[in-house]
Amino acid sequence: MGRGRGRLLLLAITPALLTGCHSSPEKEQEKLRQELTSWDATAQLTRELTDRGALPQVYVRQVSEAVEQGKQKLQERAAKSAP
């Protein structure tokens, strides 16, 4: 791709990226709900596989920590986006 085409592509993409960064409060709340659902599903699947003895304990611990950290970050983001 030539320099001119690369710059043109960047100029065409930039407005889409900027508008994507400024979502409405409703969209942000929906995104937070979806992320929470994903973390909950990860925790549930991990529990199910742990109950079957299919996961090593070190992995279970790592996933549990990641779930806790992810949910904590969601709570922080939710508090910031609350009216």
| 21: pLDDT strictly greater than 60 | no
Over 80: is that where the pLDDT of 4 sits?
no
Give me the half-sphere count of Cα atoms (radius 13 Å) on the Cβ side of residue 80: 8
pLDDT for the residue 10:
47
Give pLDDT tens digits for 44-76: 999 999 999 999 999 999 999 999 999 999 999
For residues 21-34, average pLDDT: 84
Residue 81, SS3? helix
Q: What is the DSSP letter of 22?
A: S
Whole-model pTM: value is: 0.69
Q: Where are the domains of the chain?
A: 24-81
Which residue's structure tokens are 């990641």?
A: 66
Buried b (16+ CB within 10 A) or exposed e, 27-59: ebeeeeeebeeebeeebeebeeebeeeebeeee
